[in-house]
């Protein structure tokens, strides 16, 4: 079982560049989400999806886009990278948003914007 | 309003001594509570969860936590620390909201284990 797979593990971007962080899960989970982790702030929700074709904003959505064309994949797009987006990004999934099983996390993408 | 406070940003213990990581929460309803562990350069792993069943919850690697509604606390404990327990620990509160659950992460407690 691969669980939740994130790529790339590390990325350095220049200010203004765009990129896509990939997330895939093989557990047939309906619910997928993106978090960013910054020192002393825990994890903050960026966007989430409760199923293919359905996405919604979380706590800190500005500067990010998502789409969910399949159950398995939930990419996160940075439209025009800014230094404030330097962070560690985690993708997480759970069977359904209406069941409180807890999340399965990917191993993260460490992004630096210079 | 929903919130979670981890009372210590850092905790240092000696190997073989007890571990106590403190977490207080605020919730308007009957929350679900979780503890996750994050080892360096890794993703978060679910340690244990409370979802309105037994108030004393046992998790992986010898950890347990007790839900105390009167004190709005969900402290994580382990009788004897091991070097491999050194990691960051996150307390998480989850409440029902429109369409599902709203989940809030604490800021984290870094556990150091001395030989």
Maximum Cα interatomic distance, chain B, rounded to a whole number of Å: 48
Q: What are the structure tokens assigned to B54, written together?
A: 């037994």
* A98 lies within 8 A of chain B by CB: yes
pLDDT tens sequence for chain A (114 residues): 679 999 999 999 999 999 999 999 999 999 999 999 998 888 999 999 999 999 999 999 999 999 999 999 999 999 999 999 999 999 999 998 777 788 999 999 999 999
| Residue A42 in contact with partner chain B when CB distance is under 8 A | yes
* Interface contact A105-B43, CB threshold 8 A: yes
B42 and A107: CB-CB below 8 Å? yes
Mind listing the pLDDT tens digit for each residue in B81-91? 999 999 999 99
* Residue B102 or residue A108, greater confidence: A108
- Position B94 confidence tier, pLDDT thresholds 50, 70, 90: confident
Could A42 and B41 be called an inter-chain contact, meaning their C-beta atoms sit closer than 8 Å?
no
- Per-residue confidence (pLDDT) for residue B99, from 0 to 100: 63
B90 CB contacts (<8 Å, ≥6 apart)? A42, A43, B6, B35, B36, B37, B38, B44, B105, B106, B108, B109
A70-103 residue pLDDT tens:
999 999 999 999 999 999 999 999 998 777 788 9
B106–chain A Cβ distance below 8 A for any pair: yes
- Distance from the A97 Cα atom to the nearest Cα atom in chain B, whole angstroms: 5
Residue A98 and residue B100: Cβ atoms within 8 Å? yes
Touching B: A residues 57-96, CB under 8 Å: 90, 92, 96
**pLDDT one-digit tens code per residue, B38-55:** 998 889 999 999 987 788
The yes-or-no verdict on residue B36 having pLDDT over 70 is yes
Predicted local distance difference test score (pLDDT) of residue B98: 67
Under an 8 A CB cutoff, do B32 and A41 touch? no
């Amino acid at each position: 079982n691969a669980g939740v797979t994130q790529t790339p593990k590390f990325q350095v971007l220049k200010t203004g560049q765009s990129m896509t962080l990939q997330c895939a899960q093989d557990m047939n989970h309906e619910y997928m989400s993106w978090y960013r982790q910054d020192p002393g702030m825990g994890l903050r929700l960026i966007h989430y999806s409760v199923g293919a074709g359905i996405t919604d904003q979380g706590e800190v959505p500005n500067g990010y886009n998502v789409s969910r064309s399949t159950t398995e994949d939930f990419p996160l797009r940075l439209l025009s990278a800014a230094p404030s987006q330097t962070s560690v990004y985690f993708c997480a999934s759970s069977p359904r948003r209406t069941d409180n099983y807890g999340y399965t996390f990917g191993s993260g993408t460490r992004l630096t914007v210079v | 309003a929903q919130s979670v406070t981890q009372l210590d940003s850092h905790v240092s213990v000696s190997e073989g001594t007890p571990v106590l990581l403190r977490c207080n929460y605020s919730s308007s309803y009957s929350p679900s509570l979780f503890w996750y562990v994050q080892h360096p350069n890794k993703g978060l792993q679910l340690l244990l969860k409370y979802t309105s069943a037994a108030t004393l919850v046992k998790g992986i690697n010898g950890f347990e936590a007790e839900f105390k509604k009167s004190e709005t606390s969900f402290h994580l404990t382990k009788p004897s620390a091991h070097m491999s327990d050194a990691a960051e620990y996150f307390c998480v509160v989850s409440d029902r909201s429109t369409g599902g659950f709203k989940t809030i992460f604490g800021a984290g407690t870094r556990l150091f284990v001395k030989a």
